């Protein structure tokens, strides 16, 4: 990306789980806690590591901030590159 004129772009794949807007907080919290529990499991960590996806748990707020930052970054890349929205 740096060679293409986007030195701040770091392409790092990630996986996460989102819920629809309006999902009740107790349900979103329950899902978040279940994910935290799963990601704390050494067997799950090992399998994710072997797949090249080391777990990086984040709070719901941290994950939302990451998504917003990615949207801003890629919107700039698309705009600067003149990519049409079709």
Round to whole Å and give the CA distance between 64 and 33. 16
| pLDDT value at residue 30 | 96
E strand or H helix that includes residue 35? helix 25-40
| pLDDT value at residue 56 | 87
Collapse the DSSP code of 40 into the 3-class scheme (helix H, G, I; strand E, B; otherwise coil) and give the result. Answer: helix
Q: Which two tokens stand for residue 71?
A: 């949207």
User: For 35-78, how does the pLDDT look when each residue is reduced to its tens digit (9 = 90+)?
Assistant: 999 999 999 999 999 998 888 889 999 999 999 998 998 898 89
pTM here? 0.73
| pLDDT value at residue 7 | 80
């Amino acid at each position: 990306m740096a060679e293409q004129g986007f030195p701040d772009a770091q392409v790092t794949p990630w996986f996460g789980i989102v819920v629809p807007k309006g999902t009740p907080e107790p349900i979103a919290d329950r899902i978040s806690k279940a994910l935290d529990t799963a990601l704390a499991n050494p067997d799950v960590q090992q399998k994710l590591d072997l797949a090249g996806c080391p777990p990086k748990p984040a709070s719901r707020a941290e994950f939302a901030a990451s998504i917003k930052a990615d949207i801003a970054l890629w919107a700039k890349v698309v705009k600067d590159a003149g990519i049409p929205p079709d």
